[in-house]
Amino acid sequence: MSITSNADISGMEAVSEAVGITLKKMREYAAPGMSTRELDEYGGRLLSELGARSAPKLTYGFPGWTCISLNNEVAHGIPSEHKILKEGDLINVDVSAELNGYWGDNGGSFVLGEDIHNHNPLVNASKLILQKAINEIRGGVKIADVGDLIERSAKKMGYRVIKNLVGHGIGRSLHEEPKEIPNYYDRRNKNRFHKNSVVAIETFISTKASYAYDMGDGWTLVTNDGSFVAQHEHTIIVTDGKPVILTASNGIWS
């Protein structure tokens, strides 16, 4: 969407605060021995208390309030009472919601407890690359150039990017124009970021794989080689200068 009024700003700030706080509290609440279903139910209660409605459930009938992906799962993981969190797990939580007609989206990967499997370098790379990408976004910048920055930054750090998972426009619905903000350089993409537009920028940084595949349940995406992937995402307003990070309350850079 394009911001056209103070009401738009207030609406986007409110829903972004809701999803950001929910993500942060879910990350803090997660503990070894807990199921991903229990973590998701906690997130669902938080959203409800904040007056927000789960976007994946509302839009797609997703079987959970949030998406929780565990270890080799890349995205859209279905919360389950059979998936039990363990020390050192790589966990990704993606929270998106609607509030008073406005939509916000954010996500983040983290290591649960002690990093016994050495996932933190990957997690930290994803955070850093997202920060670098957002710092380059302003009105007039080519979307392909930001994708190029993400891909080159990942390669310099010894990683790859997942090419079939992308950022997107957001605001009056969960997915809007631009429909695709890739993590790689696509010379065919001539689109540019526009001042006052709202977009969800996300990184998918991989230890080896370049694509994610449906594991067979219609939702959960995994790599086909056992790679691990870290994702981080902010909803932002594009300006002529530094973007406004609407979901800063998630604390993913803290």
β pairing state of 90-99 and 102-111: antiparallel
Total residue length of the chain: 254
Q: In 10 A of CB 92, how many CB atoms? A: 26
13 is in an annotated binding site: no
User: Is the separation of the CB atoms in 180 and 168 below 8 Å?
Assistant: yes
Structure tokens, 208? 């080896």
168 is in an annotated binding site: yes
232 is in an annotated binding site: no
Q: Which of helix, strand or coil describes residue 95?
A: strand
233 is in an annotated binding site: yes
Q: Which of helix, strand or coil describes residue 91?
A: strand
Measured in degrees and rounded to the nearest 5, phi and psi for residue 20 equal: -65, -45
User: Is the separation of the CB atoms in 3 and 196 below 8 Å?
Assistant: yes
Output the furthest CA–CA distance in the chain (Å, rounded).
49
User: Is the separation of the CB atoms in 231 and 75 below 8 Å?
Assistant: yes
CA nearest neighbour of 125 among 195, 254, 229: 229
CA nearest neighbour of 184 among 161, 213, 209: 161
76 is in an annotated binding site: yes
105 is in an annotated binding site: yes
Q: How far apart are CA 177 and CA 171, in angstroms?
A: 10
Binding-site annotation: residue ranges for substrate: 76, 175
Binding-site annotation: residue ranges: 76, 94, 105, 168, 175, 202, 233
Binding-site annotation: residue ranges for a divalent metal cation: 94, 105, 168, 202, 233
